Amino acid sequence: MCVLLPAIFGATLGFLALAFAVQNEPALPVPVLAVFSPGLKIAEMFTPARHESLGSTFGGFLRVAIGVNALLYFSIFALAGYWIDRRLSR
């Protein structure tokens, strides 16, 4: 249970951050996008290297972007949970 909540929140927030970043990519500067959704920029680096069908390329792009964002937000929530647990146990 201790790991499940940060994983659920991290995956959800990672997906929403990617949706926000894709929607606002032309209007926001690159450093702001990289802070909220690092998965978008990492996926952009890996996706053009392959020349496959559009569905396969887009699916790979989404898997990389959502995975990186979920990992980032999972680590933030897990660290916050650990910090709160340590503060409450004192």
Q: What pLDDT, in 10s, does the model give residues 34-74?
A: 888 898 888 888 876 667 777 777 888 888 899 999 999 99
Instruction: Give, rounded to a whole angstrom, the gap between the first and last alpha carbons of the chain.
Output: 21
Query: Looking at residue 48, what is its pLDDT?
Result: 66
pTM comes to 0.80
- DSSP E strands, 1-90: none
For residues 62 and 22, is the Cβ–Cβ distance under 8 A? no
Query: Looking at residue 82, what is its pLDDT?
Result: 87
Separation of CA 22 from chain center: 12
For residues 18 and 73, is the Cβ–Cβ distance under 8 A? no
pLDDT in tens, 78-88: 888 889 888 88
Query: Looking at residue 50, what is its pLDDT?
Result: 61
Which of the four pLDDT bands, split at 50, 70 and 90, describes residue 90?
A: confident
Q: Which residue has the tokens 């690159």?
A: 30
Domain residue extents for the chain: 4-88
Determine the Cα–Cα distance for residues 72 and 14; give it in Å rounded to an integer. 8
pLDDT > 70? residue 22? yes
Residue 64 CB: number of other CB atoms within 10 A?
18
